[in-house]
Amino acid sequence: MTRKKFFNADNLLIAIALVSIIALVFTLVSVSQKMTTETLDEASHAINTQYQKLDNLLNLQLYGQKRNIKLSLMLLLDDAFAKDAARMEFYQDASNFIKYRDQLANIIDESEEDWYQRLKSLANQAEPLQNEVAELALSGRIEQGKDLLANEGMLQLDAFGQNIEDFSQFQAQQTHQLIKQARHNIDNTMQKIILLATLLVLVSFFFAYLLAHRFHLINLRLKSANDTLEKEVENRTQRLTQAQTDLLEKNRILEHLSTTDALTQLHNRLKIERILETLQFRYETEQRLYTILFIDIDFFKAINDSFGHHTGDLVLKDMAHCLSHTFTDNCHIGRWGGEEFIVILEEIDAHQAVLLAEECRQKIEAHDFPVNRPLTVSIGLATIEHGETTSEVIHLADTALYESKHAGRNRVTIYAKET
């Protein structure tokens, strides 16, 4: 009788329902674990791919910078072996650049194709220019190479760096979005599972506790993974920002080196020629006068022969100091070559220019140079007139300088046209 009551239809249905609930609970746990693992694996794979893209982008920018730095060394170094080593590193950096570019091409998706094509187009534009600068450096055309690198190479590198920075920021945003989406997917999965589990485990708080505990562990794993990924993204972003800052600083140094005479710290010939182009344009459009002074140290070769080139260098530095303290307003001072200096005076007529030149000559004659003899200079000057070009004014000032030397040196001569 007892057995019949125990195995009646109600008890059997209850037993079947209980077993079914238990089976469904364990099935639910198994499925939830699989879904969570798959979601984490997919998110991890996508995020790892994003980090590979960021890594390739960082290396593209670094090797692009290194190629320009090696070009700068090839243009600035005098030692043939050091220049050759820079050349070899320049071409090795090109191989590394291509390697990381190809790696990036293999992992980008369709939404990033336009970004990649823009980077590839900029790289294709920069490569011939960099090779041309390298050829100029190897053929000894240093000033032409410096000018090409400073005027066009740096602009292309800046544009390339800006595109990489924009692409990197886009990648960082994509990574944050992937992390957010992964969390959202896990949260949705957890919410659905918890809802179903709650409905199924109403008959047993024990089963509910087991499921809640399991899901809590899963959430902890996801939070830990998310925190790690966010820190890694922040570190990568900081490194990329620092690399961009370093590149800008190196560009500033390169610009200074390419336009400054290393010994006297005055403008070099390339910088002076750029200034003259600007002043010539102002004269032609606004009739703003300018005057060119050529200043040459008298008997400078004798100083080098008697006291050595080191003392000669000290004399050139002192001369630059004297010129900088004599010509202070609306002027540009540079070293034209050897012991010859050039001063460009803006918006000043020939008479005023002669007075300033004579004042300069007297100051230099009275200056105590690091040699046991007085030093003098010969000065020739010419003022721009209607119809003249920059080259013609330079020639006229040089002719006036020759006349100063021919007349006995230590004097100022202004070019006067024959009438």
Three-class DSSP labels, 376-397:
CEEEEEEECCCCCCHHHHHHHH
> Considering 112, 230, 232, 339, which one is annotated as catalytic?
339
Q: Cβ(281)–Cβ(390) under 8 Å?
A: no
In a 13 Å sphere around the CA of 181, the CA atoms on its Cβ side amount to 12
Tokens 């077993």 correspond to 19
Q: Cβ(275)–Cβ(259) under 8 Å?
A: no
Q: State the Cα–Cα distance between residues 361 and 363, nearest whole angstrom.
A: 6
* 385 among known catalytic residues: no
In a 13 Å sphere around the CA of 224, the CA atoms on its Cβ side amount to 6
Q: State the Cα–Cα distance between residues 199 and 191, nearest whole angstrom.
A: 12
**Burial 93-116, CB ≥16 within 10 A → b, else e:** bbeebeebbeebeeebeeebeebb
What positions carry a catalytic annotation? Answer: 339
